[in-house]
Amino acid sequence: MTSTELQVPRADLSDPNWWRQAVVYQIYPRSFADANGDGVGDLQGIISRLPYLVSLGIDAVWLSPFYPSALADGGYDVDDYRDVDPRLGTLSDFDELVEALHGAGIKLIVDIVPNHSSDRHEWFREALAAPKDSPARDRYIFREGVGDQPPSDWDSVFGGSAWAQIEDGQWYLHLFAAEQPDLNWDNREVRDDFIKTLRFWSDRGVDGFRVDVAHALVKDLSEPLPSKTTLPRQSESNGLHPLWDRDEVHDVYHEWRQVLNEYDPPRSAVAEAFVPATRRARYASAKGLGQAFNFDLLQADWDYDRFRQVIEENLALAEQNGSSSTWVFSNHDVVRHATRYGLPKDPDGAWQDGKAWLLSNGTEPTVDVEQGLRRARAAVLLMLALPGSAYLYQGEELGLQEVGELPAANLQDPAYFRSKGAEKGRDGCRVPLPWTVGGLSFGFGAGGSHLLQPKWFGTYSVEAQEGDADSTLSLYRKALAVRRGLQSSEDLEWVDGVDWSLHFQRPGGWQSITNFGAAPIELPDGAVVLSSAPLEGDKLPADTTAWLI
């Protein structure tokens, strides 16, 4: 099937509610396409692949950080919030990308990283050169130690202490890598500068923002600092944890929303907030960011009961606060779901996150690749039929498996280094995309690739799937085209019937049914318009989703 056969009218770019049921495609720019052959993806590489993005039928691109960075955390250590990393391009390239996407009817969402800057940011360099208790240091969180020890025993998310010491003996807080010093959001100058950043990118045509670690920012660092042994569980803190999900953070987002609403149409925003579902609604309120990521399906094994529970809970929460839900299975931080679904379930009942498999360099346990891909294909049809917005991660439309065999010498993720190898990190889902069956970097660029691509990548390439009507790429293109034609209001009605089948109906007679069981089941009345795998006569096979009208 050619891309011209799938062209459909694009949504109105002026629609203020475009985000509510949008399909958003996440691009990790360093690993999407490399135009200058230096082994790292860039903005011109993305522009060169615009016809591919159009052929997918997406509504928006979410661009992961493209700012100047030492890459201590894959670009989430930002040197300058209002510029482009020279390795990725220039502000002129960025403007060209915005114009190209908008010309194709595609919106652009960019990452913003407000909890921390990089240690190379001009503010942090100024703080290091300034004396204690200076205005420069007050933009960050500096404290005196306890004797020769850090101010507290808190741990960094990436392992090790959450405090790093500087030459004059003071310590600064970094909830993530030491190269990512936390900003002090009690400082008015910090708040004003991020408002300036929101306006800078909005004025350049950005349509929305994905807010990294949105549940951090505001902290209670009243002395004495509590020991980590006395800290409440985040899931039970109800806004009282000193570091995470404090109620005061919403004052920041209420102010941001006023700025975002100055534009026509208002700029959208979505929070990355790892908080209980009952706390998520505040981030997604109309007075706040407007939408928040729901990671519940991403953190669910392939299981009927769990999927049904997650969908019901999140649709109810979205209805309560007037937002729309978000759905996602993979991103730049987790093992790809085509691999996770091919691994055996955790015997202790925990979510199969694939981390133990990564530590074996992708050898133990053995991935059932066929099962994983079959379930991933069924999952995306189910997701795309749900009310709300769907987030796709680059490469999932190819059915890409996680690269578990990356050698230690090629790893870049600070999680690997700070944990001293206890975690392998997230590099396996960030390996540059395969565009062609062969070549030095499978068409990623004229040079190599900054993360090693395995030999098997070519079989998953765009070129290998382009002419195959049954390929995963073809399935995504068909699904997005059909979805655009069927999508209407955000209503859903459950249809109960066959055990282990997740069956619901959307307005206009659109039905989606997924078979989580082991045996084929009877299809409901209606004409099948799309299925994730071939049907068995008039029956829906195991691990398969079908859409009917």
Residues tagged active-site: 212, 262
The reply to whether omega before 51 is within 30° of 0 (cis) is no
Please, which residues have CB within 8 angstroms of residue 269's CB and are 6 or more apart in sequence?
208, 209, 210, 211, 253, 256, 257, 260, 289, 290, 291
- Residue 465 CA: distances (Å) to CA of 26, 104, 216, 459, 484: 20, 23, 42, 8, 23
The sign one gets for the Cα dihedral 375, 376, 379, 380 is negative
* 501-506 vs 142-143, strand pairing mode: unpaired
Q: How far apart are CA 441 and CA 435, in angstroms?
A: 9
The sign one gets for the Cα dihedral 492, 494, 495, 500 is positive
Q: How many CB atoms lie within 10 A of CB 340?
A: 25
235 close to 265: Cβ distance less than 8 angstroms: no
Query: What backbone torsions phi and psi does residue 257 show, to the nearest 5 degrees?
Result: -60, -40
Rg (C-alpha) for the chain, rounded Å, is 23
Rounded (10°) angle between helices 472-486 and 369-385: 10
Q: How far apart are CA 237 and CA 219, in angstroms?
A: 13
Strands (E) in 344-459, as ranges, are 389-393
For residue 179, what are its two tokens?
């190269």
**Which among 63, 110, 68 is positioned nearest to 85, based on CA atoms?**
68
Q: Three-state secondary structure along 272-327?
A: CCCCCHHHHHHHCCCCCCEEECCCCCCCCCCCHHHHHHHHHHHHHHHHHHCCCCEE
Please, which residues have CB within 8 angstroms of residue 542's CB and are 6 or more apart in sequence?
515, 516, 517, 518, 519, 520
CA 262 to chain centre: 26
For residue 229, what are its two tokens?
């042994």
